[in-house]
Structure 1
């Protein structure tokens, strides 16, 4: 059995908010993607398209933030384990970057196809 404290919703929420605050304060890429998200959220709300398309647009947009958070976590753990250059540490960081790259690719393709569909049907 793991030595783990009992689940507490409010404490766990505060941990998550502390992590978000840290990401905003220390990660430039996360800040850029967060600003992009805040700019594009009203587009999702006001654009004339189906609910399914709006959900896909929202999921692809927030997927970038999730991927960036995962990448930052991977980078921090790797840096905690070793400050020296190690081939496997570099590979782990590269995979984290790939997660971000793929999420941006999904975002661009999703938004591009949906917007193309909207503007070519009118």
Structure 2
């Protein structure tokens, strides 16, 4: 299958692929907002989002330079990003079927581990910045 045939097949399966320019950007923004709304339905994401309401402004007070502010704020946003990806993995696995499967468990466990690592990174960055400020 050549490139043109592949593009036609993808467009037939998903007409959104035919959009270009500002229309594509506009629709992509809508899909992103829908993803954030779906994420808000998850308790873990909601907790992290509420914590970010406090931590993001606090990053400007704790950070002594723009690099420190970027690291503090970025680590908070990274936790939320990883949580959304983990939720996406869990949702896709759940769509496959409700029955227990070792590979499904493994995928969900790895997504959860990614969230844990992002939380540890965030906590370490914040602890280091706060300790340097004392």
* TM-score relative to the length of structure 1: 0.92
Partner of 2:54: 39
Q: How many residues are paired up? A: 118
Pairwise CA RMSD: 1.1
Instruction: Name structure 1 gaps, 5 residues minimum.
Output: none
Higher RCO structure (Cα 8 Å, ≥6 apart): 1
Counting only pairs closer than 5 Å after superposition, residues 20-99 of structure 1 correspond to structure 2 as 20-24=36-40, 26-47=41-62, 49-99=64-114
> Which of 32, 51, 63 lines up with 1:16 in the alignment?
32
Runs of 4+ in 1 over 4 A off after TM superposition: none
Instruction: Name structure 2 gaps, 5 residues minimum.
Output: 1-5, 12-16
Q: Over alpha carbons, which structure has the higher Rg?
A: 2
Would the aligned equivalents of 2:63 and 2:69 in 1 still touch at CA under 8 Å? no
Partner of 2:14: none
Q: Which moved more, 1:40-49 or 1:102-111?
A: 40-49
* TM-score relative to the length of structure 2: 0.84
